[in-house]
Amino acid sequence: MAKIVLIGSNHSGIAALNTLLDNYPGNELVVIDRNTNLSYLGCGTALWIGRQIKGYDALFYTSKDELEKKGAKFHMETEVERIDFDAKKVYARRTDGAAIEEAYDKLILATGSVPIVPKIPGIDLTNVKHVKLFQDGQTIDAILGDPAVKRVAVVGAGYIGVEIAEAIKRRGREALLFEMFDTSLATYYDPWFTHDMDKILADNGVELHFGEKLTSIEGQGGKVCGVTTDKGKYDIELVILAIGFRPNAALAKDRLELFGNGAYLTDLRQRTSEPDVFAAGDCATVWNNATDQFAYIALATNAVRSGIVAVHNAGGAEVESAGVQGSNGICIFNYKMVSTGLNLAAAEKAGYDAAYTDYEDLQKPGFIEHDNHKVKIRIVYDKKTRRIVGAQMASYQDISMGIHLFSLAVAQKLTIEQLALLDIFFLPHFNQPYNYITMAAISAK
């Protein structure tokens, strides 16, 4: 029986914890986390700020008490300061100053990610916030309670920035969305899709400032009063930074092998370069089936999966990750976009001889008058091998289940021809006889 120390008890850590206690009884599990809370679903922050949900309580899916009942020992509000990998000991400090020392047989690092903060003048002013923790969401919510806060700058039009900009509008404030690229969601989607999203944001009153770089934040009496970009100056009362996250690998960066962006480099078992040390979630790499390489894809879904893989191996089994495809989705003012694998630009960058096939049609036959919206689909594939490397879909319809098919296709390296002849059922309540997945695949050149 082993003693396992787990640093970080959010999505990855909780998945690891539950898997260990459910499958490997008899092991000792000690969990250390610097936060006051655990299991907060960050995706709910925008829903709460925009008042699309009644409250934030249900954004926590478990609790320390519940997990302690399963047998875990917790040190919350305790920051790990140092790891002695040779002596196999973790040194931490509680917020009240008390020192904690825990020896381990196996160590799991699930320390997640931290927001990227640009080094620009004014960054330390009051009312400059980022969105990561439950506490961040609560702070922003409280600031928006002040009627004097009328104009909000959201910096970064990735999925978090776009969601927060929508929430600000829904809350009745002016939202100015700043982005260096000339479109939103540039990492995940091709322009055929991102232009839809840009239009939906603009049509719903979000003021888009794309191709524009924030250079400074101005203050008055220590509080934000404006922002300056390379193209203009704007009066602003709140700045929300959403320019991305970096892996939180501070604890072991000098000892463990790292990926290009500083994440802990792991193998398929989430094992680091130190045999008894595993890393999972936003602080670690995952295997990307679309590129056949290790990658950094910070998503809660990957955090959970990699946490499960890590702890099976820490618990004594030999379990390899099936890899991931970076499947993701977003829903803004009811418009839904989902994607998996690589978009065209990413496929080209990865070295594929990339081509794509597009199709656009109603979800159901035209005679179905209700709940029947246009769907657009793009499948990205390699011209030489015909292998599907990614797909994107968008609609006001809930088309989310469709993208899971493509996730599997990318993982299993299916060809576009295999998809064209796939048995896809037809019933007018659901879809068309010549449905858009088949039609897109059949029309691939």
Ligand X SMILES: Cc1cc2nc3c(=O)[nH]c(=O)nc-3n(C[C@H](O)[C@H](O)[C@H](O)COP(=O)(O)OP(=O)(O)OC[C@H]3O[C@@H](n4cnc5c(N)ncnc54)[C@H](O)[C@@H]3O)c2cc1C
Q: Which residues are catalytic?
A: 11, 43
**Applying CB under 6 A, which of residues 196, 237, 274, 282 lies at the interface with ligand X?**
282
251 binds ligand X (CB under 6 A): yes
Smaller CB separation from ligand X, 399 or 419: 399
**CA dist., res. 339 & res. 350, Å (int):** 17
Identity at 3, one-letter amino acid code: K
**Applying CB under 6 A, which of residues 112, 122, 326, 402 lies at the interface with ligand X?**
112
Q: Choose one: 4-12, 172-180, 341-349, 409-417; the region binding ligand X (CB under 6 A).
A: 4-12
248 binds ligand X (CB under 6 A): yes
Q: Choose one: 104-112, 219-227, 317-325, 433-441; the region binding ligand X (CB under 6 A).
A: 104-112
Q: Choose one: 108-116, 187-195, 204-212, 253-261; the region binding ligand X (CB under 6 A).
A: 108-116
39 binds ligand X (CB under 6 A): no
Smaller CB separation from ligand X, 31 or 200: 31
Q: Choose one: 34-42, 199-207, 212-220, 270-278; the region binding ligand X (CB under 6 A).
A: 34-42
Q: Choose one: 83-91, 121-129, 190-198, 295-303; the region binding ligand X (CB under 6 A).
A: 295-303
**CA dist., res. 395 & res. 206, Å (int):** 20
Closest contact distance (angstroms) between CB of 69 and ligand X is 20
Smaller CB separation from ligand X, 18 or 435: 18
**Applying CB under 6 A, which of residues 25, 36, 43, 99 lies at the interface with ligand X?**
43
Give the Å distances, CA to CA, from 374 to 156, 220, 359, 368, 433.
29, 48, 10, 12, 15
Q: What is the DSSP string of 61-109?
A: ---HHHHHHTT-EEE-SEEEEEEETTTTEEEEEETTS-EEEEE-SEEEE
**Applying CB under 6 A, which of residues 21, 33, 271, 278 lies at the interface with ligand X?**
33
Strands (E), 86-222: 89-94, 99-103, 106-109, 113-115, 128-130, 151-155, 174-179, 207-210, 214-220
**Greatest CA separation for the chain:** 71
What single-letter DSSP state applies at residue 122? T
User: 18, 17, 14, 15: which is closest to 4 by C-alpha?
Assistant: 17
HEC profile of 257-285: CECCCCCECCCCCCECCCCCEEECHHHEC
Structure tokens at 146: 């002040």
8 binds ligand X (CB under 6 A): yes
Smaller CB separation from ligand X, 45 or 363: 45
**CA dist., res. 209 & res. 43, Å (int):** 24
Smaller CB separation from ligand X, 135 or 385: 135
**CA dist., res. 440 & res. 381, Å (int):** 12
**Applying CB under 6 A, which of residues 42, 247, 323, 326 lies at the interface with ligand X?**
42
247 binds ligand X (CB under 6 A): no
Q: Choose one: 1-9, 226-234, 361-369, 375-383; the region binding ligand X (CB under 6 A).
A: 1-9
Closest contact distance (angstroms) between CB of 229 and ligand X is 23
Strands (E), 364-412: 374-382, 388-395
**Applying CB under 6 A, which of residues 180, 225, 299, 362 lies at the interface with ligand X?**
299
Whether the Cβ atoms of residue 307 and residue 14 lie closer than 8 Å to each other: yes
Q: Which of residues 52-91 bind ligand X (CB under 6 A)?
A: 79-80
Q: Which of residues 151-170 bind ligand X (CB under 6 A)?
A: 160
**CA dist., res. 99 & res. 94, Å (int):** 6
**Applying CB under 6 A, which of residues 6, 31, 34, 339 lies at the interface with ligand X?**
34
Q: How many CB atoms lie within 10 A of CB 402?
A: 21
208 binds ligand X (CB under 6 A): no
**Applying CB under 6 A, which of residues 76, 100, 123, 300 lies at the interface with ligand X?**
300
Binding site for ligand X (CB under 6 A): 7-13, 32-35, 42-43, 45, 79-80, 110-113, 131-132, 160, 248, 251, 281-282, 298-301, 303
